[in-house]
Every structure is written in C-alpha cells, then in structure tokens.
Chains A and B, each alone.
Chain A
Amino acid sequence: AQTVTQSQPEMSVQEAETVTLSCTYDTSESDYYLFWYKQPPSRQMILVIRQEAYKQQNATENRFSVNFQKAAKSFSLKISDSQLGDAAMYFCAYRSQYLSRGSQGNLIFGKGTKLSVKP
C-alpha cells in the first residue's frame, strides 16, 4: 500500500522569504500523480500544484514550485515570496494512475504541515 509522509508538522516563514515543505512517499508503482493541497482556516481544500510521475520537468504555478525526485520518492513544495495569505495547512497527496491495479482512484494524504507566515 502507498503511504505519504510529511515530516514537518509545523513550519514558519517570514513574509517575502522562501520556504520549502517536505514530502516523501512509498510506492511500488511507476505511474502516479502527486499533489499539494492547501487548506486555509476556512477548511476548503485548494489544489496548489500537480505533478505527473512520468514528467521529468518539475511543475510550477506562479510562486509555487516542486522538486520532484522520483528515485528518492521525494516531492517537496517551494513557496517563493511568501505572503500572509499563504498561511495554511499544506497536504501532500498521492494517487495511482490506474484504477485497475487495485487503486480506488482516491488521494492518499500525508498528515499535513501547518505553515505560519510572519509579517
């Protein structure tokens, strides 16, 4: 079974600085997707960024980028020029590509990292 580990329960960053959130995962599959979701105090789960495992190029979305290391099974999120609105819980998630291989198509989440942004 796949697992996702976020080893940093809490992180803090100064406004306008850069922070990196760590995520590692365990899988025997070669094809899968990885995600970072943001959950602000409103509890709404918001997709931040998505990475297909077959793509070597790291995904980027404006100030958010990932460092995807497939061999190391590592998927970290870098937030540049941090803003007060970035304060939230961040969840790393994994999903198999193929439903037929016993996957339910669901996301497997890590336990989250709480990010605080200091003004």
Chain B
Amino acid sequence: NAGVTQTPKFRVLKTGQSMTLLCAQDMNHEYMYWYRQDPGMGLRLIHYSVGEGTTAKGEVPDGYNVSRLKKQNFLLGLESAAPSQTSVYFCASSYGQQETQYFGPGTRLLVL
C-alpha cells in the first residue's frame, strides 16, 4: 500500500513549456485534490475532483488544467508554464468529503 504518490519529484521548466504532474493513490479514495505551497502562504487549492470523470476549480485554478480519467489518478497540467508557477505541488486524497486527507510527498517545480 503506497498511499499517495507523485511524479516527478522535481522538475525545471522554461517559460512557455508544458508539463503534466501525476498523482496516484491506491486507497480507493473518491476525492482528490491539487494544492500549491508557496513560501509564507501555506497550501492553496488549485483544482479538485469528487470522483472519476469529475473536476472542479479551487482557489487558484488559473494556468492549470486537470483530468481524472481513472479513479486512482489525478493529473495536473501546465499548458504554458510561467515563473509565477514556481512552487511545490501537493496532491491529496480522501475517501469522502468528511474524511481525512492524505498527502503525497510533493513535486518541486522551478520555472525559469
């Protein structure tokens, strides 16, 4: 039981490049979330999903897209990376809306 995993762990992008961050969970959780963590800002919600095939916007969704084609996977895409997207990205999942969220180890992204 690996819990929540994220790939890659670290990535450097040039402005304008695109990439996809992958989150996978093996706990059969319905809910999945993408957060970003910036210095002095705590974590903020980017997008979330309440089940396979569903996604919704969070607090800071601009510049990101997501997909949940399979229940266990939640992908976060950057179509045209900007330096403002330099951050640490965390994925989390929970069985239900009232259940505890479990976090992945994070992906550190640097956009030059």
Contact residues of A with B, CB < 8 Å? 4, 33, 35, 37, 42-47, 50, 91, 97-99, 104-107, 109-112
Instruction: Give the distance to chain A from B63, nearest Cβ to Cβ, in Å.
Output: 18
Instruction: Sample 30 A-B pairs with CB under 8 A, ordered by A number.
Output: A4-B42, A33-B98, A35-B100, A43-B88, A44-B106, A45-B43, A45-B90, A45-B92, A45-B103, A45-B106, A47-B100, A47-B101, A47-B102, A91-B42, A91-B43, A97-B98, A99-B50, A104-B56, A104-B58, A104-B59, A105-B97, A106-B33, A106-B35, A106-B45, A106-B48, A106-B59, A107-B35, A107-B92, A110-B42, A112-B42
Which of B45, B50, B92, B97 has the largest count of A CB atoms less than 10 A from its CB? B97
Which residue of B is nearest A31, CB measured? B98
7 shortest interchain CB distances as A-B pairs: A109-B42, A45-B103, A106-B45, A105-B97, A43-B106, A109-B43, A99-B97
Instruction: Report chain B residues within 8 Å CB of A106.
Output: 33, 35, 45, 48, 58-59
* Chain B min CB distance to A67 (Å): 21
The answer to whether B105 touches A111 (Cβ under 8 A) is: no
Q: Summarize A's interface: helix, strand, loop or mixed.
A: loop
The verdict on B31 contacting chain A, using a C-beta distance below 8 Å, is yes
Q: How far is the CA of A33 from the CA of B88 in the complex (A)?
A: 25
B interface secondary structure, majority: strand
Looking at B56, B58, B100, which has the most chain A CB atoms within 10 Å of its CB? Answer: B100
Residues of B within 8 A of A47 (CB): 100-102
Shortest CB-to-CB span from B99 to chain A, Å, is 10
With the chains together, A66 CA to B18 CA distance in Å?
43
Instruction: Mark B38-53 against chain A: 1 for CB-CB distance below 8 A, else 0.
Output: 0011111100101000
User: A80 to B20, alpha carbons, bound, how many Å?
Assistant: 42
- Report how far A46 CA is from B106 CA in the complex, Å: 12
